[in-house]
Structures are given as structure tokens and as C-alpha cells.
């Protein structure tokens, strides 16, 4: 028995593989193209582990994927690979369409071909688990009920539109070809190994390097925050017990405005790693031009996965964010390594022209 993980060198994928192998002995193949967001250092602790294998490749490379599925005969595909950053999708949507839509289509075609060649026992065991996002549901008014699995789709960014497209393809492959698909929609993950283009690690890096902490607009946009290992546990649960064809929302029951998130990070840094001048990192907060089309509020109703599969997050925001800040403080080498020239180019592109 083996599982194939796509995008396993990224933030959530690498946490998923590490947690999987800590919990189980079933081998993992990690297929990742190693874009700017893929980092094999995340998986350094697995070097030499016979249960883990890395294959560099593109989910859109049909011949390579078909060959991989043939050789390893995984009993499940856990599909994380994607372009995942909303701001990048605004600057350049093309890669998002290519990987998230076209790439997912090719991966589904390969899975379908492989599935149709299986015997009855293989078919019964096989799962294609697609990791999607709460962003496909669009933005919520203040006070409106949280997203349930039947909330209408209304993606607002090129990123969320590309994820919505891939969700529809996955659903269609389940409906039309009988591929045993499962789709999960999770909220904002945070934790170790997150690339510092996303809010929390960006704030930590900028604070520690004496830079501004850029808050888009008024900072009152609301997100639900999910500690990454809770997300990984939820995916394992859906894989084990989810009903093919179903979708499951995964959230942390932690709806918070961005400013509160940044203030929590600042408070922990002030406590755990005070500034040399004794002042608060909060002095580095600045408000900058808002993200175009910025969704105001996301909120996840994670009741279905709790009722049907018995999963609930273990971390509160207070416990998860403390672990997270501690992790970044304890891993300065990892942080230094990911801030390459390409990373600095991105900061220049996204932040230089935003008025304060
Ligand atoms: P990430 O950007 O950190 O990692 C993505 C990984 O996919 C990278 O390792 C990258 O090299 C790889 N990849 C990209 N294009 C590829 C291709 N064509 N072929 C093979 N590999 C490719 O992303 P993440 O934050 O870990 O997110 C993982 C998944 O979870 C994504 O599908 C994302 O949409 C979804 N998601 C993320 C969050 C979040 O808060 N991070 C929340 C909801 C859903
Ligand atoms: O909701 C799930 C989604 O969460 C995932 O599908 C995406 O892959 C993931 O990137 C994340 O999207 P967001 O756009 O919510 O994440 P990000 O960390 O980029 O931004 C979080 C919030 O913080 C958002 O309201 C924008 C704001 N922000 C972000 C950055 C990078 C700032 O105010 N300043 C910043 O510099």
C-alpha cells in the first residue's frame, strides 16, 4: 500500500507527509515540481527513510504521471499541488490556470485511466482526495452564517476561480466516471514551513528584520485560522472514512480580523524575542493599499466533518499561534534559506507601489 501526494514539498503537503509517516507506516511518494513554493528542506528529517520517495515532476505531464501511477500503484492520490497565493494570482493568473485547472485535469485523466484498469478490490480501495479552499465560496457579509458544504460558489480572485474550476472537474470525474473522489475545503492554514509570502510568516520575518508590517486596507478582513497539523489530521480522517463524492469543510472555529492576527504575532514576539531597543514590534505596523477585489470575510462551518467523521481541531488560535511563532524563532536557518533573490523580487513587486 502506498499513497501519492502531489505538492508535498509545499507548506501543507510537507506537514502532511511528516505527520503521515509519524502516524503510519504506509509509504508516500511525493510528486512536486519544485516551483518557488516547493522546498525539499521542509522534508529534511525524512532523508534516508525507506517509506518516503521524492519525484520531481509536473502534475500536467501526462506521460510521467501515468508512468508513476503504473509503477507505484498508489491506493490513493492526495492532491495538494497548486499555485496558492492570491496576490500572485492578481499579478499573473496564467500559472494558476495552467497548474490548478489544466494540471488537475491531466492528473484526473491519469487517475481515471489507472482506476479503469483496476480489479474490483483495487477500485473499492482507491481514493482521489482533492484539497480545495473556502475561497471558492466568495465573501460573507458580517453576521451571515458560515460556509457550509452547500454554499453557492462565487470565487472572486483568479486563484479562487482556478480552484473552483478544479473542484468542478473533480466532481465531474466522480459523477461521470465513478472515480471515488473526495473534496475538502479548508480555511487559512498556519504553522511550520509556511512560505513567508503569506500573512503570518511574512509578519514574523518582517518584524525580525526591522521592516514594516503591511496591513492591507483597514485590516478588518476576517479569516478562519486552522493550525496545519489539525488540517493534516482532518485529511487523514476524510481519506479513511469520507464518503466518495462528498465534500467536507475543514476549519479551526477561529474567525479573526487580520489586525488581531498581526497583534497576536507582535505580542508573542515582544514576549519571546524582544526588540533590542525595548520597544514593541507593533510600532512597525503600517496600513498599505488594499488587495484588489479583497474578500471581506470567510468563515467555515466545520460541523459536517465533526458529526459524520468525528474530527475537531485540537488547537485553539492561542495555542497554535504560540507554537508557530516559537517554531519560526527556533528555525532561523530555514527562514534565511527561503529568502532568496526570487523572494526579494516578489516583495519588490507586491509592496513597493502600495501607498502607505
Ligand atoms: P504551497 O504554495 O505552499 O505549495 C504548493 C506546492 O505545489 C509546492 O511545493 C509547489 O512546488 C507544488 N506545485 C506547484 N505547481 C505544481 C505542478 N504543476 N506540479 C507539481 N507540483 C506543483 O501551497 P499550500 O499552502 O501548501 O497549499 C496546498 C494546497 O492547499 C493548495 O491546493 C491550496 O490551494 C490549498 N489550500 C491552502 C490553504 C492555505 O492556507 N495555505 C488553505 C486552503 C487550501
Ligand atoms: O482561505 C484559504 C486561503 O488562505 C487559501 O486558499 C490560500 O491558498 C491561502 O494563501 C490563504 O489565502 P489568503 O489570501 O487569505 O492568505 P494571505 O496569507 O495571503 O492573506 C491573509 C489575509 O491577510 C488576507 O485578508 C490578506 C491579508 N494580508 C496579506 C498579506 C500577505 C495583509 O493584510 N498583508 C499582507 O502583506
Condensed to tens digits (0 to 9), the pLDDT of residues 22-65 reads 999 999 999 999 999 999 999 999 999 999 999 999 999 999 99
Q: What is the DSSP-derived secondary structure letter of residue 136?
A: G
Ligand 1 geometric centre to CA of 14 (Å): 10
Q: Of the listed 135, 197, 230, 295, which one is catalytic?
A: 135
> Is residue 92's pLDDT more than 80?
yes
Q: Which domains does the chain have, with CATH numbers?
A: 3-191+227-252+297-315 (3.40.50.720)
In this structure, what C-alpha cell is assigned to residue 100? Answer: 490548478
Tell which atom from ligand 1 comes closest to the C-alpha of 79.
32
Residues near 333 by beta carbon (within 8 Å), at least 6 away in sequence: none
pTM across the whole model: 0.98
Average pLDDT, the chain: 97
The per-residue pLDDT for range 138-158, each reduced to its tens digit, is 999 999 999 999 999 999 999
> Is residue 355's pLDDT more than 90?
no
Residues near 87 by beta carbon (within 8 Å), at least 6 away in sequence: 197, 291, 350
Q: Of the listed 52, 137, 159, 190, which one is catalytic?
A: 159
Distance CA 79, CA 82 (A): 9
Ligand 1 cavity residues, CB under 6 Å: 6-7, 9-13, 32-35, 37-38, 58-60, 80-82, 84, 99, 103, 131, 133, 163, 186, 188-189, 195
**104 CB near ligand 2 (under 6 Å):** no
Average pLDDT over residues 184-193: 98
Ligand 2 atom 8: residue of nearest CA: 84
Average pLDDT over residues 120-128: 97
Task: Tell me the β-bridge partners of 77.
Answer: 4, 128
Average pLDDT over residues 254-281: 98
Ligand 2 geometric centre to CA of 57 (Å): 27
What is the pLDDT, as a whole number, of residue 354? 84
Question: What pLDDT band is residue 353 in, cutting at 50, 70 and 90?
Answer: confident
Q: Of 256, 249, 260, which is closest to residue 313 (Cα–Cα)? A: 249
What is the pLDDT, as a whole number, of residue 356? 59
Ligand 1 geometric centre to CA of 217 (Å): 26
> Is residue 250's pLDDT more than 90?
yes
Q: CA angle, 331 as apex, 45 and 254 as ends, to 5°?
A: 95
- Residue of 147, 188, 220, 298 with the most ligand 2 atoms within 8 Å of its CB, for mutation: 188
Distance CA 119, CA 123 (A): 6
Q: Is 93 left (phi over 0), alpha (psi -120 to 50) or beta?
A: alpha
Percent of the chain with pLDDT over 70: 99
Q: Which ligand is nearest to the CA of 100?
A: 1
Ligand 2 geometric centre to CA of 291 (Å): 10
What are the angstrom distances between the C-alpha of 241 and each of 36, 197, 309, 311?
A: 34, 34, 7, 11
- Compute φ and ψ for 187, nearest 5 degrees: -90, -165
Average pLDDT over residues 120-135: 98
The per-residue pLDDT for range 232-241, each reduced to its tens digit, is 999 999 999 9
Q: Is 159 a catalytic residue?
A: yes
In this structure, what C-alpha cell is assigned to residue 151? Answer: 454554499
**157 CB near ligand 2 (under 6 Å):** no
Question: What pLDDT band is residue 109 in, cutting at 50, 70 and 90?
Answer: very high
What is the pLDDT, as a whole number, of residue 276? 97
Ligand 2 geometric centre to CA of 198 (Å): 6
Question: What pLDDT band is residue 187 in, cutting at 50, 70 and 90?
Answer: very high
Ligand 1 atom 33: residue of nearest CA: 84
Amino acid at each position: 500500500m502506498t499513497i501519492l501526494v502531489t505538492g508535498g514539498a509545499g507548506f501543507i503537503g510537507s506537514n502532511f507527509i511528516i505527520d503521515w509517516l509519524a502516524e503510519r507506516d504506509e509509504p508516500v511518494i511525493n510528486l512536486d515540481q519544485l516551483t518557488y513554493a516547493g522546498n525539499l528542506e521542509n522534508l529534511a528529517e525524512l532523508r534516508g527513510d525507506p517509506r518516503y520517495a521524492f519525484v520531481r515532476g509536473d502534475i500536467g505531464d501526462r506521460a510521467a504521471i501515468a508512468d508513476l501511477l503504473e509503477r507505484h500503484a498508489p491506493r490513493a492520490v492526495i492532491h495538494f499541488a497548486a499555485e496558492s497565493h492570491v496576490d500572485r494570482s492578481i499579478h499573473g493568473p496564467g500559472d494558476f490556470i495552467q497548474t490548478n485547472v489544466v494540471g488537475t485535469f491531466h492528473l484526473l485523466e491519469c487517475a481515471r485511466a489507472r482506476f479503469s484498469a483496476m480489479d474490483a478490490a483495487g477500485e473499492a480501495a482507491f481514493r482521489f482526495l482533492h484539497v480545495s479552499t473556502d475561497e471558492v465560496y466568495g465573501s460573507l457579509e458580517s453576521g451571515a452564517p458560515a460556509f457550509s458544504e452547500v454554499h453557492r460558489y462565487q470565487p472572486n480572485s483568479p486563484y479562487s476561480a482556478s480552484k473552483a474550476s478544479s473542484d468542478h472537474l473533480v466532481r465531474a470525474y466522480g459523477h461521470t466516471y465513478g472515480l471515488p473522489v473526495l473534496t475538502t475545503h479548508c480555511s487559512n492554514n498556519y504553522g511550520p514551513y509556511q512560505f513567508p509570502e503569506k500573512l503570518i510568516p511574512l509578519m514574523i520575518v518582517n518584524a525580525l528584520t526591522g521592516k514594516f508590517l503591511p496591513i492591507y486596507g483597514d485590516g478588518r478582513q476576517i479569516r478562519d485560522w486552522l493550525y496545519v497539523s489539525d488540517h493534516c489530521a482532518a485529511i487523514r480522517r476524510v481519506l479513511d472514512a469520507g464518503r466518495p463524492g462528498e465534500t467536507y469543510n475543514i476549519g479551526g472555529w477561529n474567525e479573526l480580523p487580520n489586525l488581531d492576527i498581526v497583534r497576536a504575532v507582535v505580542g508573542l514576539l515582544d514576549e519571546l524575542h524582544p526588540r533590542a531597543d525595548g520597544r514593541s514590534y507593533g510600532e512597525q505596523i503600517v496600513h498599505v493599499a488594499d488587495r484588489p477585489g479583497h474578500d471581506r470575510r470567510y468563515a467555515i462551518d466545520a460541523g459536517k466533518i465533526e458529526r459524520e467523521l468525528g474530527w475537531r481541531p485540537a488547537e485553539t488560535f492561542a495555542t497554535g499561534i504560540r507554537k508557530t511563532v516559537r517554531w519560526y524563532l527556533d528555525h532561523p536557518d530555514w527562514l534565511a534559506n527561503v529568502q532568496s533573490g526570487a523572494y526579494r523580487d516578489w516583495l519588490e513587486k507586491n509592496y513597493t507601489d502600495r501607498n502607505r
